[in-house]
Copies of this chain bind each other. A is one copy, B any other.
Amino acid sequence: MNVHQRQDAIVRLLRRNGTATIADLAKEVGASRRTLLRDIGALREAGFVIHAEPGRGGGLRLDPQSVQTTARLSVAEVFALLISVAAVRAAGGLPFSRLADAGLAKIEKALPPDKIQDLRRFLECLYIGELSPRVDTSDMGVMDPCLLPAFETAFLGRHPLRFQYRDAKGIVTKRLVEPQAMLILPPLWYLVAWDPARDDFRHFRMDRISEPEYVEGGTFRRRNAPFKKGIRPLGPLPS
């Protein structure tokens, strides 16, 4: 049994039994008393709150509030969680929104600083409407998460975006547009962009966009996209 497994086992035993003595735990995981004490020290250093009572009838007790999880999330997953929580907040909030914010803040702090900057700036481009589904979702295509980086780069670098668009009739056209905002009208997701060829704003359903590609070196000025009533910015990250 290696270090990690052993410390895992210790946490499990403490959770199950409520309290236990070091001698018991040592016997259970098959290690010496000294090693157990070292493991307990390591677990405490890792954030577990383990109360200890010396004397007869004493022992160790794991504070149930301090059980923690360390998961490795990709940037895209963090982004998805951010959007979910921000959407809930934009819809009026839930009783535990603050806790969710706190969790996200921790996740965010663990990202590299430049990535945080990117995420914040990208979130500023997001707008959301009412959080109740308005359309039938049966014919909905999937929004491929792999497409996201191209959009992110286009928005952050203010590059024009080139893609193929399949409209409601199934006709496929090539577009070259200036991305202005992303609009969430659950469960759909639109790119709001200035289309120079048509000299006007256009909405593009994200699940109908394919092969997006930003134009390297190109740039454009920002315009004020006209939003209908009831559409709000998704709001910044909690700080």
Residues of A within 8 A of B (CB): 11-12, 15-16, 46-47, 64-81, 83-85, 87-88, 91-100, 102-104, 106-115, 130-133, 137, 143, 145-146, 149, 184, 186-189, 206-207
Contacts and interface: CB of A to CB of B under 8 A. Distances in A.
A91 B12 contact: no
Nearest to A115: B67
A239 to B, nearest CB: 16
Q: How many of these chains are in the complex?
A: 2
Contacts of A133: 91-93
The secondary structure that dominates the A interface is helix
B187 A149 contact: no
Nearest to A182: B95
A157 to B, nearest CB: 14
A183 B78 CA distance: 27
B187 A107 contact: no
Contacts of A47: 72, 74
5 contacts: A15-B112, A67-B75, A67-B111, A71-B109, A91-B131
A79 B95 CA distance: 12
Nearest to A103: B77
A21 to B, nearest CB: 21
Interface-centre pick from A65, A111, A207 (highest chain B CB count, 10 A): A65
Given A91-B131, A132-B92, A99 B70 contact: no
A85 to B, nearest CB: 5
B95 A65 contact: no
A104 B96 CA distance: 16
B94 A106 contact: no
B95 A131 contact: no
A45 to B, nearest CB: 12
Nearest to A75: B67
Contacts of A83: 94, 96, 100
Nearest to A89: B84
A99 B71 contact: no
Given A99-B145, A132-B92, A71 B71 contact: yes
Contacts of A106: 71-73, 77
